[in-house]
Amino acid sequence: MRSIWNGAISFGLVSIPIKLVNATENRSVSFRQVHVEDGGRIRYRKVCELDGQEVTSADIGKAYEEADGTMIPITDEDLAALPLPTAKTIEIVSFVAASEIDPMQMDTAYYLSASGVPAAKPYTLLREALKRSDRVAVAKFALRGRERLGMLRVVDDVIVMHGLLWPDEIRRPEGVAPDSDVKVRDAELDLADALMDTLGQVDLDSLHDDYREAVEQMIAAKAEGVEEPAPTPSADRGGQVIDLMAALEGSVRAAREARGEGAAADAAEEGAGGSVTELPAREPKKSAAASGRKTASKQPAKKSTSKPAAKSADTKSADTKPVAKKTPAKSASSKSTASKAASKSTSAKAASKSAAGSESKPAAKKTAAKTATKTASRKRAS
């Protein structure tokens, strides 16, 4: 790359010879002015307004114009005689944190290249010192007839200098902010945050100038003699009064659809905060055990067999046959209740039999004793 300035970096008592190289380039499409009727180039000629004669570059000098129009001539010798220490030197004046530099001051960027082999060592020293300190250098330098402010930082393994505007060159934003006191609701801020999160991050290398590409395609088509159809002009949306909430919601939805997250995000949103339709509450069903106990309590104690339970179950099934088919647990529960009642009556009978048997045992013993006494007395008499 061709250098545009040669000088040195002044780092205390250390001097580093460098070359200044443009770090950026203008890629916009440039046009020439032509005569509409015949396509001839329009050229400007430098003419003296006093005698009307065309003047060459060698005959053109500098002058400062006063408010009243008076011209004060300035020669190259006058400028060269000025005590300007930064004429050929980038003089570092301070090291500060990068956050202390207002981005509004950032101007053109330049690469600083070490000039010659002797400059390699001090150049590397300054580069590594900037890396380790995590700071940037503020410097002053002169370029194109004026002294400028600059910031030195490290990009990869190269020292880059950004031209900075002087603080008094930054205009104050007076009268730019809205005059009225505007209130912003929390819901609107939440939607704005959601839109920012949905847009996410972007790789700056993937961004390109769509307008420049369209102009280049149009020029190529005209060069080949192909007339492209005129594009439909987009509707002017400037100055429209819109519903801010609706615009934010639409923007979030469009951003999600662009990233392929539309359906999933809508489903999640409905699950989190969507409207819920409540179904009518059903009447609680009576438990099978409760219905069985109720049926058993209506019948007499002596008739608590499986027949009454079966009859009540049949009666219920006859009244509500569809319910009986869907809920077989009721009939099973009633059967189990009936079987429990039958087992209770059977155990009661067995208990009464055992009680009667226990009462007849003493009488049998007395009868046997009497018989034995009679037999003994007969033997003695004989």
Alpha carbon 379 to its chain's center = 122
Report the C-alpha gap between 98 and 100 in whole angstroms: 5
Report the C-alpha gap between 113 and 8 in whole angstroms: 10
Report the C-alpha gap between 111 and 154 in whole angstroms: 10
Report the C-alpha gap between 149 and 166 in whole angstroms: 7
Task: Return the bridge partners of 65, or none.
Answer: 71
Domain 1-24+76-167 has CATH 2.40.290.10: yes
Residue 379 is predicted with a pLDDT of 54
Query: Where do the H-state alpha helices sit in the chain?
Result: 76-80, 120-133, 186-199, 210-223, 244-258, 262-273, 288-298, 306-319, 321-326, 329-381
Neighbour count for residue 268 (Cβ, 10 Å): 12
Report the C-alpha gap between 382 and 298 in whole angstroms: 72
Residue 268 is predicted with a pLDDT of 54
Reduced to 3 states (helix: H, G, I; strand: E, B; else coil), residue 241 is coil
- The full 3-state SS of 68-124, as one line of letters, equals CCCEEEECHHHHHCCCCCCCCEEEEEEEECHHHCCHHHEEEEEEEEECCHHHHHHHH
Report the C-alpha gap between 52 and 61 in whole angstroms: 17
Which pTM value belongs to this model? 0.57
In order of 12, 102, 105, 203, 276, the CA distances from 94 in angstroms are 10, 16, 17, 33, 64
Report the C-alpha gap between 96 and 136 in whole angstroms: 6
Alpha carbon 156 to its chain's center = 30
Dihedral sign for Cα 62, 64, 70, 75, please: negative
Report the C-alpha gap between 167 and 149 in whole angstroms: 10
Are 101 and 136 in contact, with CB atoms under 8 Å apart?
A: yes
Instruction: List Cβ neighbours of 272 (8 Å cut-off, separation of 6 or more).
Output: none
Phi, psi of 17 (to 5 degrees): -65, 130
Q: What type of residue is 310?
A: A
Residue 86 is predicted with a pLDDT of 79
| DSSP assignment string, 210-236 | HHHHHHHHHHHHHHTT--PPPPPPPPP
In order of 4, 24, 94, the CA distances from 162 in angstroms are 15, 11, 15
Could you state, in order of their start, the residue ranges of all structural domains in the chain?
1-24+76-167, 291-361
Positions of the chain with pLDDT lower than 50, given as ranges? 241, 272-362, 364, 382
Are 337 and 296 in contact, with CB atoms under 8 Å apart?
A: yes
List the structure tokens of 266. Answer: 């809508």
